[in-house]
Structure 1
Amino acid sequence: MKKKLKKELIEWIVLITVIGVIYFGGWHTEVIGRVQQVVLATGIIKPGLVDEERKASYDFAIQDFDGTSIQFSEFEGEVVFLNFWATWCPPCIAEMPDIHELYQNQKRNVKFVMISLDRDETKARQFIKRKEFEFPVYFLRSSLPNTYDTHAIPTTYVLNQEGIIKVENHGMAKYNTDSFNSLLNELTKSQ
């Protein structure tokens, strides 16, 4: 009985130590994100078209990685994939590799606007560089219009060239699918 108790105590100590190292090492967000990537890989969580289309708002300012300020209105007339994310958000981290693949497929037709909500912009820059993501990343430089509800992140919108929100998704999703690529292709045909 003592051996069994001793073995169980050792197992608990090892488990708590591993969890502590992951947490205090700052790797918990990445680890949780990896687990959620497995869920995304199943294709269960997909974005859908909005039930009720509404007009997008272009009335806010962003800044690119080079420090150039941009009015979001510069994207009017384009199909835009607009994503709000942060490095401390495991679902954001989970969907980013998939969004990067979508970007590789659609970058000639669709404008990608990946807006980091990190307070520490250096952390976001380091994350993007370390992951070797090529999509354009921006930081907010003004408040967002009420059109965009980012109380939950990640939040993604797809705007058509007429400025209508065609997709609104709160939470992670698998975007690089045949059906989503087809939707983007259909939206860009009229450009």
Structure 2
Amino acid sequence: MNKSTFSFRSIPGWAYTVALVGVLYLTGLHTEVIGQVQRLLLATGLKEAEVSAPVTAVSSDSESAASTSFKRAGTGFEMVRLDGTPVNFESLHGKVIFLNVWATWCPPCVAEMPNIQSLYEKVGSEKIAFVMLSVDEGGLAKVQKYIQKKGYTFPVYLLASAMPQEFESASIPTTFIISPAGKIMHTQVGLAQYDTEEVRNYLLNLAK
């Protein structure tokens, strides 16, 4: 009588896939793995952020007039830095603001961070403020650990009050470019490549 023998070859391919996915989720590595795949997509240039033609410099009189005709984005919004320092979003008005809403558990957020870091290193200044706004619910420690592990130097904040309606989005990452007058000039929902000549010129011209 022939005894049936067990062989790994008898295990269907989908079972290996299910097992691999299970291990990734149990170890928490799925975010990084998916993020790496999406990072490769960004490297192809297929997901570059599309901004309108570079804006020209706006006079201070025009800025003042514009600021009185609408509610400035983020008015009354409170945030907290990773070191626990409270920050009022309104304190950034007068600068161009690059606001990115993200979370550590979000693969596309993780994927686009290296190119945002690169953009920050090239154009971040007293006139262009970066706000990497985490919506993680695990508290400061979780986000601090992630940022330190990755070595990012852009400014990171967490919510200290309700998210303003103008910054709400059905999905993340979502990025807003806000003028010195507090007007949202551009909104990008989803993964994108920001460290491009087009985006750099847009930010620099908006800051003039």
Tell me whether 1:171 sits opposite 2:190 in the alignment. Answer: yes
Q: Is the 8 A contact 2:51 2:202 kept in 1?
A: no
1:44 aligns with 2:63: no
Alignment pair present for 1:186 and 2:166: no
1:123 deviates by: 1.7
- For residues 57-105 of structure 1, what are the alpha-carbon distances to aligned partners after superposition, in whole Å with 9 as ceiling and x for unaligned? 3320000011111110000100000111001101100100110101111
More strand by share: 1
- Partner residue, 2:67: none
How many angstroms apart in 2 are the aligned matches of 1:38 and 1:98? 12
TM-score (norm 1): 0.88
Contact 1:33 1:91 in 2 (8 A): yes
Could you tell me how far 1:124 is from its partner in structure 2?
Answer: 1.3
Match of residue 99 from structure 1? 116
SS of the residue aligned with 2:165? coil
> Does the 8 Å CA contact 2:51/2:198 hold for their aligned counterparts?
no
- CA offsets per residue over residues 6-62 of structure 1, 9 Å max, x none? 525175554443332222111001101111111111111122347xxx952332000
Name the TM-score, length of structure 2 as normaliser. 0.81
Residue 166 of structure 1 and its aligned partner are, at CA, apart by 1.3
Q: How many residues align?
A: 185
State the 4+ residue runs in structure 1 displaced beyond 3 angstroms: 10-17
From 139, 156, 160, the equivalent of 1:141 is 160
1:24-43 to structure 2, matched below 5 A, reads: 24-43=26-45
d(CA) in 2 for partners of 1:16, 1:49: 40
- The equivalent of 1:110 in structure 2 is 128
Pairing 1:130–2:132 present: no
Matches within 5 A, 1:48-127: 48-49=50-51, 56-108=73-125, 109-121=127-139, 122-127=141-146
- 1:8 & 1:181 partners in 2: Cα distance? 55
Distance 2:106 2:12 in 1: 32
Identical-residue share of aligned pairs (%): 39
1:7 matched to which residue of 2? 9
Structure 1 stretches lacking a partner, 5+ long = none
CA contact (8 A) 2:39 2:112 kept: yes
For 2:56, the equivalent position in structure 1 comes to none
Tell me which moved more, 75-84 or 104-113.
104-113
Check conservation: 2:51, 2:199, Cα contact below 8 A: no
Distance across 2 between alignment mates of 1:8 and 1:106:
56
C-alpha contact 1:160 1:166 (8 A) present in aligned 2: yes
CA distance in 1: counterparts of 2:10 and 2:155, whole angstroms: 49
CA distance in 2, matches of 1:26, 1:129: 18
- Which residues of structure 2 form unaligned runs of 5+? 53-70
Q: Distance in 1 between matches of 2:159 and 2:170?
A: 15
**What is aligned with 2:171?**
152
Q: Which whole-Å CA distance do the structure 1 matches of 2:177 and 2:91 have between them?
A: 16
2:201, 2:157 → 1: CA distance? 26
